[in-house]
Amino acid sequence: MIYLDNAATTPLDSAVLEKMLPFMRENFGNPQSQHGAGRTAANAVVAARDKTAHIMGCNSAEVYFVSGGTEAGNTALKGVCAAECNGGKGKGHIIVSAIEHPALIESAKDMQKFGFEVTFVNPDNRGIVSPKSVEKAIKSNTVFCAVMSANNETGVIQPVKEIGAVCKARGVFYYCDCVQTAGVLPLPAVHCDALGISSHKFYGPRGFGALYIKNGSKIQRLISGGMQERGFRGGTLDAAAAVGLAEALENAVNNAEVNNKKIAGLRDTFVNRVLAEIEGTHLNGDKINRLPANANISFDGCDGENILFLLDLNGIAVSTGSACSAGAVSPSHVLTAMGYDTARAKSAVRFTFGKYNTQEEVLKTVEILKRAVQKIRGAK
């Protein structure tokens, strides 16, 4: 298989697995247990939290382990809304960028049903959400704002620092979804009130993530239960996954420069060849402010799903729109929000490169892609 869907998920790094295995086998204790086995697991969780906090640039007490990016986003948005209701402010107003992952968009729609007012802020046609448009959307009762650090479909990087400053000046809680940028760009804890990461995006285990919440924030827990995560999130913690997340994050950060350069090189070779050798192709999103791994390309006269299907038949894995919402027939909400028409949005394919990809795979994909596009266009 040629795997070009690294924004959807990445394979577990074997070095990370080696660090996790002892906590699945011999040191399998529940970190809450008071015996030696429990203490061994608990100590590993403490070390993992410290490492994660150090990389995030915050205190260990500000890091909560969660099940991934979806839970992190749900917790931030709904937790702040719940706290605002309890604080007597009533049902306020929340801002979510129109290009957020469904974790935030659907959470906002859930809160709409409870009486919160929601503004979805559109990006410009490069896929960038401007700090000005966020500022314009803020009202006197705005309690929450979510704008991601980079988009999962286009890879376009957002002006997080400036948006953070706007929110801070107006007393609005700012959540930054950093699922696509953890281990690629520095994590912006200093510019926001909360941020979420997901370990399966940086060669760690699936089903695990971390949520930074600034000390002193007004936020209510969503998962009630035992005293895990200082009573903020009940449920037995997976010590192996915590160890895996911290190890994977540390590896990613330590090797970011080398990996980013290699991955951007592969991506650029791919994009340059596709745009030059296949007529009627368009790179979607800002050409400069983008993650090294992403290439989102529209192919005139083709359906993205058909390209995906033909590539899959040849053992090449890519995605259309967001992998998390694959199967949906509607065009990408991200490309639509950028102002692209349905034809361009529906003909888009996302190629995301990773540290295990090679130049040979890139060249082979270009050749197979050329034939696939020719076949689809010829069949019309």
Shortest approach of ligand PLP to residue 333 CB, angstroms? 13
| Residue 254 beta carbon to ligand PLP: minimum distance, rounded to whole angstroms | 22
Instruction: Using the minimum distance from each CB to ligand PLP, give the nearer residue, 70 or 296.
Output: 70
Q: How far apart are CB 289 and ligand PLP at their closest, in Å?
A: 16
Residue 116 structure tokens: 């919160």
Decide whether 65 or 373 has the Cβ nearer to ligand PLP: 65
* Smallest separation (angstroms) from ligand PLP to the CB of 103: 5
Which residues are near ligand PLP by CB under 6 A? 68-70, 101, 103, 148, 152, 177, 179-180, 198, 209, 324
Give 10 or 281: the residue with its C-beta nearer to ligand PLP.
10
- In the complex with ligand PLP, the residue whose CB is nearer, 52 or 198, is 198
Catalytic residue numbers? Answer: 324
Q: What's the CA gap between 261 and 267, in Å, rounded? A: 10
> Least Å distance between CB 152 and ligand PLP?
3
